[in-house]
A and B are shown apart, each in its own frame.
Chain A
């Protein structure tokens, strides 16, 4: 008995070593395939040193443009999130197995969300630009649809976890479908709903900062412009603005989540 256990551990150890060796071999293979060889790295190190040298000190030639673009990015993220949250909630009610009127509908919505989720936001933006033109509108729509992909899944999961006793009690008291959702369903999933929506706002601000890269408005475009014109000092400044945006979004959403949690705790008490 003990012997076989030892043998099993030995076997597992051997297998893990094998995995490590394979992983290393694949790493070397990939490096060669991508043509990343030491001499190329040394060559590009010079160029990089030049670019990074040109970055200091960071300057802001058109402060109004850059800050306007940053504000626009934040606005794009807010609208994308709000639209995404509203649409996702409605879809999630029809996608959650315990609330959906039919299994087929639930399955259809979930697979739609799965497909939408697997296509990155920037690609959605690229497609929306072709479909509706340049500017913030394709960015908002791309963020909204990308949010839907994720939020439908997590909302539906939160809805599937709620206590059906509450729903049944309301139904037996003669509440209509809308009443059941407003009085029974929403309070039960409220904290998950708030947490995920805030998380998504955080993610969307990250995305909105780079949407401009493909021409969908916001601060990303300023960065591309500065880099293409070889104004590296300005590029660094824009990067720092993006960093501040993303960082503060993270801090604020963390703070709001804490506030919401403590408020819920107080209300329950």
Chain B
């Protein structure tokens, strides 16, 4: 619509004819535009109706739900129970350790999978495909699902959470590393290889310097994400702050729960701050 009106302002020569041609063109485009818009909104509308019918969601509950939430927040959650801080520090540290160890696990495995999956470094195309499929599978199953399965196997506690975080991290980091590796400058690798360097020398002298920045920033990003995940994994019994939150809610100790939420909030912000600083300093 905008382009059509701009074109109409500059008709040299045969004014009348040109303008009418532009007008039909404008009408044609407008028709296409309206048709697309109609289809898009129609599909969205149908999906919305189908979902409303399926879930039995009452649109009014957007308002009543928000209202209920405010009431709940101000009558039950506030004020947070400050005396609970003492007993929360242990779980908070656990959450931190879980996400860190989980990150290290996923970094180690993702490095291997990433190198195998990167087109320019992989020993064979089939190995690359397999490695990609593994990371895609691990990425598409949420950490909480891993935690539920592992709780059945290993039992409650932080070990479960750590492994769950590590597993789902491999999915994300494996893909990210492979992409960073594929974006490398080929000539540098060729150059080092041409001097007769072995595999480790190529990795150290040509690959690592190009890979370092991407490696550090993706790994730190994963640490950020892990804190969020570690905080909620406790809800299924995998240790850390979430476990504390879940138990205090089921005991109706909402003010303690509020303190746990504040603690999660603070932990997320703290780790985000630290990783931002580290990223600046290392790169």
Contacts and interface: CB of A to CB of B under 8 A. Distances in A.
Interface in B29-53: 29, 32-33, 36, 44, 47-48, 50-52
Nearest to A209: B142
Interface string A217-257: 10010011001101010010001001100110010000000
A214 B235 contact: yes
Main secondary structure of the interface of B (DSSP, over half): helix
A195 interface: no
Main secondary structure of the interface of A (DSSP, over half): helix
Interface string B257-283: 000010011001100000000100010
A187 B1 CA distance: 10
Interface string A56-91: 000000000000000110111011001100000000
Interface string B220-261: 000000001001100110010010011001000010000001
B69 interface: yes
A256 to B, nearest CB: 10
A102 interface: no
B235 A239 contact: no
Contacts of B269: 118
A35 B62 CA distance: 45
A44 interface: yes
Interface of B: 2-3, 29, 32-33, 36, 44, 47-48, 50-52, 54-58, 61-62, 64-66, 68-69, 71-73, 76-77, 93-94, 96-98, 100-101, 104, 136-137, 140-142, 144-145, 148-155, 158-159, 162, 228, 231-232, 235-236, 239, 242, 245-246, 249, 254, 261, 264-265, 268-269, 278, 282
Contact of B152 (A27, A75, A83, A230): A230
Given A123-B261, A247-B140, A224 B148 contact: yes
B282 A79 contact: no
B72 A242 contact: no
Interface residues on A, range: 35 or more
B159 A246 contact: no
Interface in A79-133: 79, 82-83, 115, 118-120, 122-123, 126-128, 130-132
